[in-house]
Amino acid sequence: MKYSRANLGRIFILRLEEGEILHKEIERFAKIKKLKSAVVVLLGAADKDSKIVVGPRNVRSRKIFPMEVILGNVYETVGVGTIFPNSKDEAVLHMHSIFGRGKEVRCGCVRLGVKIWYVAEAIIFELKNSSARRIKDKKTGFELLEP
């Protein structure tokens, strides 16, 4: 395990609206507010044709192939994520959400483009004095958190 410390900074309350792409709006907001590190909590709904990553095709292969799912309808969603800067000093959201409709439940990463259905609420808790960054891992190709 690796770790670092941070302090709680500003807290932002956002209302995301119909048709907005979740990760793009959160990252755009982070850029405007000069947020580098944060925790994000989400509550709302994802629209039809939203895309999520639901896991790797081959669990322990050298090359990782993500499995993608396109949501075929509107789903309720709850998510939690983090924002940390990448090697270009850009704030990047990494969020996993649960998507539910009736008895059907999906879970995955929002990075491919979750479109907001009607409205979603996000609370962003800024982390100050954080040294954590997302650094590209040569083995996986992922931008992994380096505390």
d(C-alpha 147, C-alpha 47), whole Å: 34
Compute the CA torsion angle 55, 59, 60, 64 (nearest 10 deg): -40
More confident residue, 85 or 58: 85
Closest alpha carbon to 79 in 125, 50, 121, 31: 121
Inside any domain, residue 1: no
Residue 10 amino acid letter: R
Inside any domain, residue 114: yes
Q: What is the pLDDT of residue 63?
A: 77
Give the global pTM: 0.94
* CATH code, domain carrying 43: 3.30.1330.80
Tokens of 20: 């907005």
Instruction: Using pLDDT thresholds of 50, 70 and 90, give the confidence band for residue 133.
Output: very high
Strands annotated E in 86-115: 91-101, 104-109
